Amino acid sequence: MLSKNMEKALNEQINAEVFSTYLYLSMAAWFHSQKLAGFGHWMEAQAREEWEHTMKFFHYVDERGGRVLLGKIDAPQAEWESPLEAFKAAYEHEKYITGRIHELVALAREENDYATENFLQWFVTEQVEEESSTGRVVDQIEMVADSRQGLFMLDRELGARGRQG
Ligand code: FEO
């Protein structure tokens, strides 16, 4: 059985993961509006991953005899100044989520909730990947700087996410 504190914190994380889904969908919509379909595709794949994270928390709370309670989801930002600004925002968002996961681990330890601490380890590892993948695209955009051709090539590369063998 989850403690009330842990249940509340996990429910708040469900909200944060749904918001992440929403944020990346918003970024996908913005990239599509900029005619950068590859970037848009990458963000759609990212949004799907966030939904998977949401459902992992959802099922975990349920499995531990907790009650999933859904709160209000804030509207995400809709416009960014450039692809670089959008990806920098994604990278910052992942760092924020990493901080939240670490706080959950600290709470699980405080509560001697070993099962939740163990469950959260998957997310600790996942956040290393999440920061690395968004940070890598920031670096790549910075490398092509203002080159339209470079951006076009990058758009094609990002459009291949999840489509390669
Ligand atoms: Fe659910 Fe991108 O971390």
Each residue's pLDDT tens digit, 55-114: 999 999 999 999 999 999 999 999 999 999 999 999 999 999 999 999 999 999 999 999
Q: Is the CB of 54 under 6 A from ligand 1?
A: no
In this prediction, residues 7-15 reach a mean pLDDT of 98
Is residue 11 pLDDT above 90, yes or no? yes
Q: Is the CB of 94 under 6 A from ligand 1?
A: yes
Is residue 135 pLDDT above 90, yes or no? yes
> From ligand 1's centre to the CA of 15, what distance in Å?
12
User: 132-158 burial, b if ≥16 CB within 10 A, otherwise e?
Assistant: ebbbebbebbeebeeeeeebeebbeeb
Q: Which residues contact 58 (CB under 8 A, 6 or more apart)?
A: 14, 68
Q: Is the CB of 50 under 6 A from ligand 1?
A: yes
Element (H, E) at 72: none
Please report, as a single letter, which amino acid is at residue 141.
Answer: I
Query: What percent of the chain stands above pLDDT 90?
Result: 95
Distances in Å between the Cα of 144 and the Cα atoms of 131, 132, 139 are: 20, 19, 9
> Do 26 and 77 form a contact (C-beta atoms < 8 A)?
yes
State the residue for tokens 């005899």: 65
Rounded to whole angstroms, the Cα distance separating 96 from 92 reads 6
pLDDT for residue 165? 47
User: 84-102 burial, b if ≥16 CB within 10 A, otherwise e?
Assistant: bebbbbbbebbeebbeebe
Indicate if the alpha-carbon torsion angle 121, 123, 125, 127 is positive or negative: negative
> From ligand 1's centre to the CA of 45, what distance in Å?
12
Name the CATH topology of 4-159: Ferritin (1.20.1260)
pLDDT for residue 1? 87
3-state secondary structure of 154: helix
Could you identify the atom of ligand 1 that is nearest to the CA of residue 97? 3
Q: Is the CB of 44 under 6 A from ligand 1?
A: no
Distances in Å between the Cα of 158 and the Cα atoms of 37, 54, 61, 103, 140 are: 9, 24, 34, 32, 11
Could you identify the atom of ligand 1 that is nearest to the CA of residue 93? 2
Q: Average pLDDT of the chain? A: 96
pLDDT for residue 162? 85
Rounded to whole angstroms, the Cα distance separating 162 from 165 reads 8
Could you identify the atom of ligand 1 that is nearest to the CA of residue 127? 3
Nearest CA to ligand 1 atom 1: 50
Is residue 119 pLDDT above 80, yes or no? yes
